[in-house]
Amino acid sequence: MIQNWKFQRGDIFFTRFDNAIGSEQSGNRPAVVLQNDVGNFYSPTLIVATLTSKAAKKYTQPTHCLLVNEFLSVPSIVQAEQIFTVDKSRVLKFLGHLTPEEMSRVDDAVRASLALNPMGSIQRLSPIIRSTAAYAPPEVVDGKPPIYPYTPIKSSFEDAGSVEDMMLYTELEAAVHAMIQRLEYSFTFNPSLLTIPKRKQQVAEILKEAETYIWRIKEEMRCA
């Protein structure tokens, strides 16, 4: 253990992880301190998340945060799904301290891992109740498919800054609403998409492709 060291949130230490079981992280590896600084000062333990040098593997996963830093010998990923409480005696060497921007990205990964953010957490959701019985018969106009009664999300563009910005936001919002509306129509009037195994597999592949694209956009926003 480093003698008389003032541990701080955002510090990265080379830490000893032994007696691991199964998929737990093991060996000596870097770990970032997540614990608040009051606990870091008074407690004999630290709350940390481990790092891995396998940066090419799932670096866009929401519980992962890619770090490229001078004090890390190679690009590394913070694994927010691998959080441990460790005794300070396990700390071997101080490596460096993360910037506020880097720590903010780590916090995003932790929120996703622990379901602390209702809009971005990974958690079990209540099933969507779909029924056409609550609505009037769908209206057919010029032979086109009926539009599923979908209520758009209310948004405010008071802080858009300019007419051009507001037009950009409105266009993006309209595109997202149209996609959701079409999905709801498909699942409501074609329930076999969610029940027949072959169709379920095809739907899963399509949604996975969409999910990959969305996470790629989020990663670009985080790194911008």
Could you tell me the fold of the domain covering 11-114? SH3 type barrels. (2.30.30)
pLDDT tens, the chain, 224 aa long: 566 788 999 999 999 998 878 878 888 999 999 999 999 999 999 999 999 988 776 767 889 999 998 899 899 999 999 999 999 999 999 999 999 999 999 998 998 888 875 444 444 545 555 454 444 444 455 666 555 444 444 555 555 566 666 666 777 777 777 777 777 777 777 778 888 888 888 888 888 888 888 887 887 777 76
Tokens of 208: 């996975």
**pTM score of the predicted model:** 0.53
pLDDT reported for residue 22:
83
Domain boundaries, the chain: 11-114
Relative to beta strand 11-17, strand 45-52 is: unpaired
